[in-house]
Homo-oligomer: A and B are copies of this chain.
Amino acid sequence: MSETDPARGPSVRAVPEGDNRERMICAECGFILYDNPKIVVGSVARLGERILLVRRSIDPRRGFWTLPAGFLELNESTNSGAEREAWEEARARIEIEGLLAIYDIPRISQVQLVYRARLLDDKVEPGPESLEVGLFLWDEIPWPQIAFPSVRWALQHEREARSSRDFTTRLNPPGF
């Protein structure tokens, strides 16, 4: 696969017959790439008052802290996806409690589903996409080193849900 020529594959932009918008098409074989937004699944997983974060070993935002999260795979339920990501990124075993939030991020064509979860024990360690894992009290969260705005939203929404005992699903903060 290292011989891949980036100019090949679906690289011609055109409107397929019967469609109403441009898609990427392969000039060689006519394959049409119907590219759609992706679903990201993740969790705010707690052990008591501590929250699980992972430090990214990959770009974008290498070295910054994030929640265990990633792309949902084919034929995977969203809560199984969140459990798998916790395992892959932090070797963490979690129990899903409920859907904390849905964030709609059209700029990067993502819909993010973030679950509230309970960490089953403190045996966590970095997976291949993490440099480090940590269990942080609220006042210890490294806010300036948080990788993405939606990670901040989810941390704040989880705290708000617990303090208000309103565990209904949150959406993007106003204005975002």
Residues in chain A within 8 A of chain B (CB atoms): 1-5, 8-10, 16-17, 21, 25-26, 28-39, 71-80, 99, 102, 104, 106-107, 109, 111, 113, 168-169, 171
Q: Which of B9, B37, B104, B107 contacts A31 (CB 8 A)?
A: B9
Least distance between A56 CB and chain B CB atoms (Å): 16
Contacts of A16 in B (CB 8 A): 1
| A99 proximity list for chain B (CB < 8 A) | 102, 169, 171
CA distance A168 to B32 in the complex (A): 39
Q: Would you give the shortest CB distance from A169 to chain B, in whole angstroms? A: 4
Copies of this chain, complex-wide, total 2
CB distance from A102 to the nearest CB of B (A): 7
Distance in angstroms from A28 CB to nearest chain B CB is: 6
Q: Tell me which residues across on chain B come within 8 A of A4, comparing CB atoms.
A: 29-32
A47 to B25, CA, bound (A): 41
